[in-house]
């Protein structure tokens, strides 16, 4: 196999023009997590680690079946457990696979100032290229689902790649392959949506009146969707009810940090973007520019550097750590 | 039933569908596009095995380094489910998905170990010495506790000097050999995991 | 399993009880959830704990651990009282019509024939009423049983059964089990809905049902429910035990079990001096004029062929095929007995071939004590175990342990070929993927070198009865490490007159001209090749049989007793889900578990393994030690008196030396009911050596109800101690609504505590913490009345904040 095998790119972070976006007919791929079929076995969690050669962490039981309290730079997939008493006195054990949702409009990519560190392939997969990551963690604050995690040792940010190495060669993602009950499925987005809609109907027939397909419009839809049997309990599943890119990206904060970074290439990229925008106006930007445009819109709304969004756990996320520039692109965490 | 990953990829049409139809979703063979990580099993040999844990009997594919040429030492790279199986259809639970770490495990003893009565540590011994000692212990126990006729005069031909208690991750063939050998020695204390 | 994993997809209702398949058998369990998505299968879960299976079930009911006989007795009663049984099936395929002997009695929890001093029953009164034996018949027990096809005779099995279970009303079941009465009735109705021809239900269980002093009777009761509903032998039905180890099924088939020879041939007892003695006393007798009694009739062929496989040319007609060489145990020789013998100093040594002696328990302290009394111990295992490490366990001074120990590191499954037989009886061949590390050896290498050394030693120095040692067949191409392919062929068996391997056990002979290592595996490796290695993925019937994938015993049948999937005329009860069907000349569909050309009109009986030709609702004679009908008794340690009779405990259990003193006699000091189990992230003990699994479920924990935790000041994530009369453990508290307080008896509230069993001192965080983390430190040293499976589930404990 040629090592030059690659994927068509739709957008790259901090890059005004990238990819071969003329290939707009490329089929879109998605995962769907049918929570009704999920048994919380953590096969996806372990398969993800095994395939990606990630080290085991020294975890401790904190009064739950959940293995880790949170995602980490070496845990990209986590089963979250939540016990809920129902009005009829029955019990629901809500279990959700938490990992990157691969937003159609990725907040991480919009927020990322490092050219090419975050890539969205033409098929919808959002991938991080750690060789280009500058460790500023803007992606972390840009994500409405609180997914990317910073590793202080390598000073890079990591998350699920949707097993882009596997899907490139025709294999399904490791979590999908392992999933014992077929709760996680993978295929063309339209097929996944069709599955989700049909399953929602079945769940409604089984008495789950609020069953829903979670594919939030605020981020343009996601390339990992959920079939949620108890749609009235999104919060209990740890899913934001209305995730939104705008609420999560702070352009002024971005600029402040970019200045400190002094990354010439980044500036060059942004200036190029600015020129493009002036020439073409804000209407109908080419797809790869949409995210950046979102970013600019947020700036107009007067972001103040405070992160405004919610983490997936419903708690506010702290302001992103200040990144100091010393002339190199190596970022240091000081907070 | 072995197939190298290389052969597999050769046999599957990356661009035009066939077995690899999923690969046509959004991928492009033009070198101008973003390069992704190399598939870590692209040069591996596939061997079919069965999961060693519960009794669902999930088929697995073990991916080992190299093509089994005599100059290579194969090591395990990855294990995943065999999609052909009508039982697991390629899936694995967390235990099956981590069998790599069961096989390649730092806690495995490097060789036979002996612990003398009252000793505080293991001592490394040779296989020859270990087997000599085992055979001596087994023979002495059998000879000392062998009953040809019981008190009522019945022919019983049993030894009650030692027990064999077998696990349940050995194959049928090993299990049968165990049962045959142990009954051949006259063993009545022969048990395995089924009851406990 | 009578059925197989894929077959869950064919069910309308699946009752899961004493099992947690979503956690412990996820990849097989999937077919139940796929069935629900495809055609609306209803999933019921009954378990002391709300588990990951309960989380996806349609109906969940909590139950007090160890009261399953009451639950099933209640189902039987509900089905009978509400006429939900599949009447045609019951008449055709069960012994409901058989008449029970007049001498059979059941009074206040005791069956007739009880000897209180010996704690055993004489079972002669548990019989059918027989026809008068023909003139001059040598054996009156061979006389046929009388029947009343109308089921109206007061001593018909049907009526006796109905009377027996009339006491098991929903209210009574609720008081005993703690299942709310309404929930019980909901479950009874749902399961009862499958008692018709066009519906089928499955019952799925695991060791949650067997780990009791009445474990065998619990499974019998489950089987009776399935027979009454007409669910045995049918696709989507069955009595389905989920087995917990990769080849526990195969190694039971191959008889690493004290009481059997390969293929479930009973081990001979002292006094059965000759082969003919054995054959006249052991096999079942034909009990109805048209029944085949297949097993009983062929027993001698199977045994002689096995003796030929074991002893080769030394097994001759002149020496009764070396029958006398087969060891005859003096009595029970099972797990508990072995360790009791060790503890009493009567056993010199134990060879553990892949087994965690101490952690497995029960009463791990007592187990460790037993091992310490041995002269020697040999461990064959890839990884350290609690048996290999007990001499330096927490709190043990190695100097005090005089046992000499050898650790022989063995290869892993992936480092050798061979077949594993799964729960559904599918024997699947695997291939060697990589060599083992340089310092380890195959199990067969160890066994082979042991035998070769022993033969040398017996030749040089003589010794006790060397003939079987000398004559055991060992004609392998590598005697020091017998190749697995050659053994697979030996297990299959050979026609010695032609030298060709046999395709079916029907070809086995009792004259010494055939061999088989295990008759139920005959056909697994015939002349055309290794059937266990087949990889065909075609499923022409759409029923999920996959006859060309691997091979299932017997003879590649995928559903046992499948003749019962059809009616008296040979038509499937449900044409949309056929098992087998009579096409006028032969039975077609699944491989028939029946003579393929035996017309329905011959009425030979679907249950060919029994002398009756039908399935047994009433189990006569010596089939059980504790009664022909399952009866509820309380656990060895219980928080409630038996509400059904004054016979509190199973009266036929065996009490080991000193064990009674270690049982709590009431719930005053130990008020809470504890149960043990696995979680999905671990398999028994070995996975404590797997870093990803230790990461996924890192610490020993104890699950307890919120109400109990509040009472004891225990917080979620804090630490908790659990004590029984035998030991103590300490772990992380998971305080959860999933552990529900139950109301039993007259309003008594009982709390249940869950203790997973994986943690121990030989690996994982348990090896580091050195804390008492083995669930079996708590469990009682007592077993089932029939097979002595220990009572790991449902014992009494106290709980405190640590």
CA distance C481 to C7: 38
State ipTM.
0.97
Lowest mean pLDDT among A194-198, A256-260, A329-333, C546-550: A329-333
- Contact (CB, 8 A) for B46 and B62: yes
pLDDT in tens, C744-756: 999 999 999 999 9
Beta carbons within 10 angstroms of residue C277's beta carbon: 15
Task: Say what the pLDDT of residue B19 is.
Answer: 32
The per-residue pLDDT of chain A, averaged, comes to 79
State whether A95 and C692 contact (CB < 8 Å): no
Strand partners for A185:
A32
Q: Does C9 touch chain A (CB under 8 A)?
A: no
Pairing of strands B162-166, B190-192: parallel
DSSP C133: P
Residue A296 confidence (pLDDT) above 80: no
Q: Is residue A331 part of a domain?
A: no
Task: Say what the pLDDT of residue A246 is.
Answer: 63
Task: Say what the pLDDT of residue A282 is.
Answer: 37
Confidence at A6, pLDDT banded by 50, 70, 90: low
Q: Which residues of A touch C56 (CB under 8 A)?
A: 36-39
Mean pLDDT of the C759-776 span: 95
State whether C430 and B161 contact (CB < 8 Å): no
Strands, E, within C264-373: which ranges?
265-266, 349-353
User: Which has the closest alpha carbon to C367: C777, C802, C801?
Assistant: C777
Neighbours of chain C (3+ CB pairs under 8 A): A, B
Task: Say what the pLDDT of residue A247 is.
Answer: 54
Give A29's contacts (C-beta < 8 A, 6+ positions apart): A123, A124, A125, A162, A167, A186, A187, A188, A189, A223, B22, B25, B26
- Evaluated on CA atoms C636, C642, C644, C645, the torsion sign reads positive
E strand or H helix at C285: none
Confidence at B11, pLDDT banded by 50, 70, 90: very low
Strand partners for C552:
C426
Task: Say what the pLDDT of residue B35 is.
Answer: 66
pLDDT in tens, C415-433: 999 999 999 999 999 999 9
Backbone angles phi, psi at C420, to 5 degrees: -110, 140
Mean pLDDT of the C738-743 span: 98
Mean pLDDT of the A146-170 span: 96
E strand or H helix at B162: strand B162-166
Cα dihedral C162, C166, C172, C173, rounded to 10, equals: 10
The domain made up of C660-801 has a fold known as: Barwin-like endoglucanases (2.40.40)
Mean pLDDT of the A8-37 span: 84
Give C282's contacts (C-beta < 8 A, 6+ positions apart): C265, C266, C268, C272, C299
Residue C269 confidence (pLDDT) above 70: yes
The CATH number of C335-461, from 3.40.640.10, 3.30.930.20, 3.30.70.1230, 3.40.50.740, is 3.40.50.740
Lowest mean pLDDT among A139-143, B71-75, B151-155: B71-75
State whether B54 and C243 contact (CB < 8 Å): yes
- Which domains, ranges and CATH numbers included, belong to chain B? 2-103 (2.20.25.90), 123-195 (no CATH)
CATH architecture assignment, domain C5-244: 3-Layer(aba) Sandwich (3.40)
CA neighbours closer than 13 Å in the CB half-sphere of residue C431: 16
- Contact (CB, 8 A) for A244 and A298: no
pLDDT in tens, B124-157: 999 999 999 999 999 999 999 999 999 999 999 9
Mean pLDDT of the A168-185 span: 96
The two structure tokens encoding residue C421:
């037989």
SS3 letters for chain A? Answer: CCCCCEECEEEECCCCCCCCCCCCCCCCEEEEEECCCCCCCCHHHHHHHHHCCCCCCCCCCCCCCCCCCCCECCECCEEEEEEEECCCCCEEEEEEEECCCCECCCHHHHHCCCCCCEEEECCCCEEECCCCCCCCCHHHHHCCCCCCEEECCCCEEECCCCCHHHHHCCCCCHHHHHCCCCCEEEEEHHHHHHHHHHHHHHHHHCCCCCCEEECCHHHCCECEEEEECCHHHHHHHCCCCCCCCHHHCCHHHHHHHHHHHCCHHHHHHHHHHHHHHHHHCCCCCCHHHHHHHHHHHHHHCCCCCCCCCECCCCCECCCCCCECCCCCCCCCECC
CA distance B170 to B164: 14
Mean pLDDT of the B36-63 span: 94
Q: Which residues of C touch A42 (CB under 8 A)?
A: 680-681, 696
Task: Say what the pLDDT of residue C392 is.
Answer: 97
The two structure tokens encoding residue A290:
């949409």
Helix (H, G, I), strand (E, B) or coil at C275: helix
Task: Say what the pLDDT of residue C172 is.
Answer: 98
Nearest beta carbon to residue A20 from set B23, B32, B88: B32
Helix (H, G, I), strand (E, B) or coil at C76: helix
In chain C, DSSP finds a helix count (H) and a strand count (E) of 23, 30
CA distance A155 to A213: 36
Task: Say what the pLDDT of residue A7 is.
Answer: 76
Confidence at A324, pLDDT banded by 50, 70, 90: very low
Residue range of the domain that includes A313: 1-19+26-233+241-320
Task: Say what the pLDDT of residue B66 is.
Answer: 82
Q: Does A85 touch chain C (CB under 8 A)?
A: yes
Residue A245 confidence (pLDDT) above 50: yes
pLDDT in tens, C216-268: 999 999 999 999 999 999 999 999 999 999 999 999 999 999 999 999 999 99
DSSP C405: E
CA triple A240-A244-A248, angle to 5 deg: 100
- Contact (CB, 8 A) for C608 and C590: no
Report how many domains make up chain A. 1
Backbone angles phi, psi at C692, to 5 degrees: -65, -30
Nearest beta carbon to residue C431 from set B48, B88, B99: B48
- Contact (CB, 8 A) for C231 and C201: yes
- Residue of C386, C406, C478, C548 to mutate for B, most B C-beta atoms under 10 A: C406
Backbone angles phi, psi at C295, to 5 degrees: -65, -50
Burial class (CB in 10 A: 0-12, 13-18, 19+), B69: exposed
Residue C199 confidence (pLDDT) above 50: yes
pTM for the structure as a whole = 0.91
- Which positions 7-36 of A are in contact with B (Cβ < 8 Å)? 7-9, 19-20, 23, 26-29
Buried b (16+ CB within 10 A) or exposed e, B130-149: bbebbbebbbbbbbebbbee
Residue C151 confidence (pLDDT) above 90: yes
Confidence at A328, pLDDT banded by 50, 70, 90: very low
Q: Which residues of A touch B88 (CB under 8 A)?
A: 180
Radius of gyration of chain A from its Cα atoms, rounded to whole angstroms: 20
Residue B18 confidence (pLDDT) above 70: no
Q: Does C437 touch chain A (CB under 8 A)?
A: no
The per-residue pLDDT of chain C, averaged, comes to 97
Pairing of strands C201-205, C13-17: parallel
- Which positions 41-60 of C are in contact with A (Cβ < 8 Å)? 50, 52-56, 58, 60
Beta carbons within 10 angstroms of residue C394's beta carbon: 12
Peptide bond into C362 cis (omega under 30): yes
Q: Does C677 touch chain A (CB under 8 A)?
A: no
Burial class (CB in 10 A: 0-12, 13-18, 19+), A265: middle
User: Which has the closest alpha carbon to A54: A63, A66, A45, A42?
Assistant: A45
Q: Does A45 touch chain B (CB under 8 A)?
A: yes
Confidence at A26, pLDDT banded by 50, 70, 90: confident
User: Which has the closest alpha carbon to C226: C92, C95, C85, C83?
Assistant: C85
- Which positions 461-520 of C are in contact with B (Cβ < 8 Å)? 463-465, 468-469, 472-473, 482, 484, 487-488, 490-491, 517-518
User: Which has the closest alpha carbon to A45: B97, C645, C405, C751?
Assistant: B97
The full set of domain ranges for chain C reads 5-244, 335-461, 660-801
pLDDT in tens, C283-338: 999 999 999 999 999 999 999 999 999 999 999 999 999 999 999 999 999 999 99
Share of chain C above pLDDT 70, in %: 99
Q: Does C29 touch chain A (CB under 8 A)?
A: yes
End-to-end CA distance of chain C: 42
Confidence at B64, pLDDT banded by 50, 70, 90: very high
Share of chain A above pLDDT 90, in %: 63
Task: Say what the pLDDT of residue B38 is.
Answer: 85
Residue C497 confidence (pLDDT) above 60: yes
State whether C407 and B188 contact (CB < 8 Å): no
Task: Say what the pLDDT of residue A17 is.
Answer: 61
State whether B62 and C404 contact (CB < 8 Å): no
Confidence at B34, pLDDT banded by 50, 70, 90: low
Nearest beta carbon to residue B180 from set C338, C434, C472: C472
Q: Is residue A330 part of a domain?
A: no
Q: Which residues of A touch B92 (CB under 8 A)?
A: 43, 47, 178, 180
Nearest beta carbon to residue B29 from set A5, A9, A174: A5
Mean pLDDT of the A99-109 span: 97
Task: Say what the pLDDT of residue B43 is.
Answer: 85
| Smallest Cα distance from A79 to chain C, Å | 10
Q: Does B107 touch chain A (CB under 8 A)?
A: no
State whether B131 and C355 contact (CB < 8 Å): no
Confidence at B29, pLDDT banded by 50, 70, 90: very low
Q: Does C787 touch chain B (CB under 8 A)?
A: yes
CA distance C158 to C760: 49
CATH number where A53 lies = 3.30.70.20
State whether A181 and C718 contact (CB < 8 Å): no
Nearest beta carbon to residue C335 from set B47, B118, B195: B195
| Smallest Cα distance from C722 to chain A, Å | 16
Residue C138 confidence (pLDDT) above 70: no
φ/ψ bin of C268: left (φ > 0), alpha (ψ from -120 to 50), beta (otherwise): beta
Beta carbons within 10 angstroms of residue A3's beta carbon: 11
pLDDT in tens, C442-494: 999 999 999 999 999 999 999 999 999 999 999 999 999 999 999 999 999 99
CA triple C738-C743-C747, angle to 5 deg: 155
Confidence at B167, pLDDT banded by 50, 70, 90: confident
CA distances from A228 to A78, A200, B118, C509 (A): 17, 8, 60, 61
Cα dihedral A301, A307, A310, A314, rounded to 10, equals: -140
Q: Does B119 touch chain A (CB under 8 A)?
A: no
DSSP C320: G
Peptide bond into A275 cis (omega under 30): no
- Which positions 120-159 of B are in contact with C (Cβ < 8 Å)? 120, 122, 127, 130-146, 148, 150, 152, 154-159
Confidence at C360, pLDDT banded by 50, 70, 90: very high
Mean pLDDT of the C67-88 span: 98
Confidence at B71, pLDDT banded by 50, 70, 90: confident
Confidence at C140, pLDDT banded by 50, 70, 90: low
Residue with structure tokens 């750690």?
A: A130
Q: Is residue A325 part of a domain?
A: no
């Amino acid at each position: 196999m040629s090592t030059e095998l690659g994927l068509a790119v739709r957008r790259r972070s901090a890059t005004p023009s990238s990819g071969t976006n003329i290939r707009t007919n490329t089929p879109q791929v998605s995962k769907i997590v049918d929570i009704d079929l999920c048994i919380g076995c953590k096969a996806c969690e372990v398969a993800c680690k095994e395939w990606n050669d990630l080290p085991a962490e020294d975890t401790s039981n904190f009064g739950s079946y959940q293995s880790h309290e949170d995602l980490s730079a070496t845990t990209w997939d986590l089963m979250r457990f939540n016990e809920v008493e129902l009005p009829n006195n029955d019990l629901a054990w809500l279990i959700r696979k938490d990992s990157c949702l691969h937003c159609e409009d990725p907040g991480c990519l919009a927020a990322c100032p490092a050219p090419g560190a975050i890539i969205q392939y033409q098929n919808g997969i959002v991938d991080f290229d750690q060789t280009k990551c500058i460790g500023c963690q803007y992606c972390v604050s840009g994500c409405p689902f609180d997914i990317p995690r910073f590793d202080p040792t390598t000073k890079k940010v990591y998350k699920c790649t949707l097993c882009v190495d596997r899907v490139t060669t025709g294999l399904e993602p490791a979590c999908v392959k392992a999933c014992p009950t077929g709760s996680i499925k993978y295929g063309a987005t339209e097929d996944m949506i069709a599955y989700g809609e049909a399953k929602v109907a079945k769940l409604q027939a089984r008495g789950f009146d609020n069953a829903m397909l979670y594919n939030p419009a605020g981020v343009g839809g996601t390339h990992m969707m959920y079939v949620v049997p108890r749609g009235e309990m999104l919060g209990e599943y740890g899913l934001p009810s209305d995730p939104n890119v705008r609420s999560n990206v702070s352009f002024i904060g971005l600029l402040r940090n970019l200045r400190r970074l002094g990354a010439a290439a980044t500036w060059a990229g942004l200036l190029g973007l600015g020129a493009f925008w002036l020439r073409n106006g804000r209407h109908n930007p080419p797809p790869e520019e949409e995210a950046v445009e979102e970013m600019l819109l947020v700036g107009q709304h007067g972001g103040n550097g405070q992160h405004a969004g919610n983490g997936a756990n419903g708690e506010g996320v702290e302001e992103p750590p200040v990144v100091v520039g010393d002339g190199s692109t190596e970022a240091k965490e000081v907070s | 039933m072995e197939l190298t990953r290389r052969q597999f990829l050769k046999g599957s049409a990356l661009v035009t569908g066939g077995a690899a139809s999923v690969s046509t979703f959004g991928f492009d063979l033009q070198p101008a596009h973003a390069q992704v990580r190399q598939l870590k099993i692209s040069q591996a040999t596939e061997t079919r095995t069965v999961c060693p844990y519960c009794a669902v009997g999930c088929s697995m594919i073990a991916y080992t380094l190299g093509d089994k040429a005599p100059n290579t030492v194969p090591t395990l790279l990855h294990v995943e489910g065999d999609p052909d199986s009508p039982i697991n259809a390629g899936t694995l639970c967390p235990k099956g998905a981590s069998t790599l770490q069961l096989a390649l495990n730092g806690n495995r003893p490097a060789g036979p170990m002996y612990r003398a009565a009252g000793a505080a540590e293991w001592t490394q011994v040779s296989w020859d010495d270990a087997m000599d000692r085992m055979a001596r212990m087994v023979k002495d126990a059998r000879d000392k506790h062998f009953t040809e006729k019981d008190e009522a005069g019945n022919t019983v031909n049993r030894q009650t000097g030692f027990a064999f208690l077998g696990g349940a991750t050995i194959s049928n063939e090993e299990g049968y050999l165990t049962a045959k050998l142990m009954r051949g020695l006259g063993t009545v204390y022969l048990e395995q995991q089924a009851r406990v | 399993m009578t059925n197989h994993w894929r077959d869950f997809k064919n069910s309308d209702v699946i009752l899961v009880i004493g099992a947690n398949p979503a956690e412990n058998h996820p990849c097989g369990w999937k077919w139940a959830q796929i069935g629900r998505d495809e055609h609306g299968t209803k999933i019921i879960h009954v378990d002391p704990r709300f588990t990951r299976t309960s989380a996806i079930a349609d109906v969940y009911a909590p139950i007090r651990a160890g009261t399953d006989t009451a639950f099933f007795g209640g189902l039987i009663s509900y089905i009978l009282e509400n006429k939900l049984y599949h009447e045609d099936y019951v008449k055709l395929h069960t012994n409901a019509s058989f008449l029970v002997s007049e001498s059979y009695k059941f009074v206040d929890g005791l069956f007739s024939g009880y000897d209180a001093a010996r704690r055993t029953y004489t079972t002669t009164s548990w019989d059918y009423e027989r026809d008068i034996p023909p003139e001059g018949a040598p054996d009156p027990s061979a006389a046929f049983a009388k029947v009343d096809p109308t089921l109206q005779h007061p001593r018909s099995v049907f009526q006796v059964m109905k009377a027996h279970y009339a006491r098991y009303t929903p209210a009574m079941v609720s008081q005993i089990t703690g299942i709310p009465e309404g929930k019980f009735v909901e479950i009874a109705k749902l399961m009862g809905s499958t008692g018709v021809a066009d519906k089928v239900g499955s019952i799925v269980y695991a060791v949650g049902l067997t780990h009791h002093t009445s474990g065998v009777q619990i499974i019998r009761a489950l089987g009776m429910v399935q027979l009454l509903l007409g669910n045995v032998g049918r696709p989507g039905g069955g009595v389905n035990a989920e087995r917990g180890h990769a080849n526990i099924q195969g190694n039971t088939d191959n008889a690493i079990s004290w009481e059997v020879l390969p293929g479930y041939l009973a081990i001979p007892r002292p006094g059965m001096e000759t082969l003919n003695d054995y054959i006249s006393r052991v096999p079942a007798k034909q009990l109805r004029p048209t029944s085949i009694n297949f097993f009983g009739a062929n027993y001698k062929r199977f045994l002689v062929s096995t003796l030929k496989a074991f002893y080769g040319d030394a097994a001759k007609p002149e020496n009764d095929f070396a029958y006398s060489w087969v060891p005859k145990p003096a009595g029970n020789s099972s797990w508990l007995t072995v360790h009791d013998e060790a503890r009493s100093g009567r056993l010199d040594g134990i060879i553990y071939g892949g087994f965690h002696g101490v952690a497995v328990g029960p009463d791990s302290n007592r187990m460790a004590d037993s091992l310490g009394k041995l002269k020697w111990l040999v461990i064959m295992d890839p990884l350290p175990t609690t048996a290999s490490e007990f001499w330096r366990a927490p709190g043990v001074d190695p100097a005090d342990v005089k046992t000499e120990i050898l650790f022989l590191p063995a290869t892993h499954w992936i480092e050798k070929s061979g077949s594993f037989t799964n729960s559904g009886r599918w024997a699947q061949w695997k291939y060697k993927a990589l060599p083992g590390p340089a310092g380890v050896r195959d199990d067969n290498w160890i066994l082979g070198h042991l035998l070769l050394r022993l033969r040398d030693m017996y030749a040089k120095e003589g010794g006790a009865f060397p003939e079987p040692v000398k004559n055991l067949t060992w004609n392998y191409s590598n005697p020091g490490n017998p190749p697995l392919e050659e053994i697979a062929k030996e297990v299959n068996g050979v026609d010695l007159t032609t030298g060709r391997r046999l395709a079916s056990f029907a070809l086995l002979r009792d004259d010494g001209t055939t061999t088989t290592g295990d008759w139920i595996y005959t056909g697994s490796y015939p002349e055309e090749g290794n059937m266990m290695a087949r990889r065909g993925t075609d499923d022409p019937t759409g029923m999920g049989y996959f006859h060309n994938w691997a091979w299932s015993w017997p003879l590649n049948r995928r559903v046992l007793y499948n003749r019962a999937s059809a009616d008296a005329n040979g038509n499937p009860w449900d044409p949309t889900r056929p098992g087998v069907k009579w096409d006028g000349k032969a039975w077609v569909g699944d491989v028939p578990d029946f003579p393929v050309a035996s017309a329905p009109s011959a009425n030979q009986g679907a249950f060919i393994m029994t002398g009756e030709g039908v399935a047994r609702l009433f189990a006569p004679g010596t089939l059980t030690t504790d009664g022909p009908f399952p009866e509820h008794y309380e656990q060895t340690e219980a928080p409630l008196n038996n509400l059904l009779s004054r016979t509190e405990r199973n009266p036929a259990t065996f009490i080991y030396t000193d064990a009674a003193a270690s049982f709590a006699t009431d719930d005053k000091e130990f008020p809470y009911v504890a149960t043990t189990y696995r979680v999905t992230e671990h398999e028994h003990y070995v996975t404590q050596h797997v870093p990803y699994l230790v990461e996924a479920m890192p610490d020993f924990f104890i699950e307890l109800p919120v109400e109990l935790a509040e009472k004891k000041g225990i917080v979620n994530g804090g630490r908790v101690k659990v004590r029984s009369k035998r030991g103590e453990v300490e772990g992380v508290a998971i305080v959860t609504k999933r552990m529900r307080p139950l109301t039993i008896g007259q309003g008594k509230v009982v709390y249940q505590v869950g203790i997973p069993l994986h943690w121990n001192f030989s690996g994982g965080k348990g090896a580091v913490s050195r804390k008492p983390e083995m669930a079996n430190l708590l469990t009682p040293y007592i077993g089932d009345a029939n097979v002595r499976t220990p009572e790991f589930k449902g014992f009494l404990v106290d709980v405190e904040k640590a």
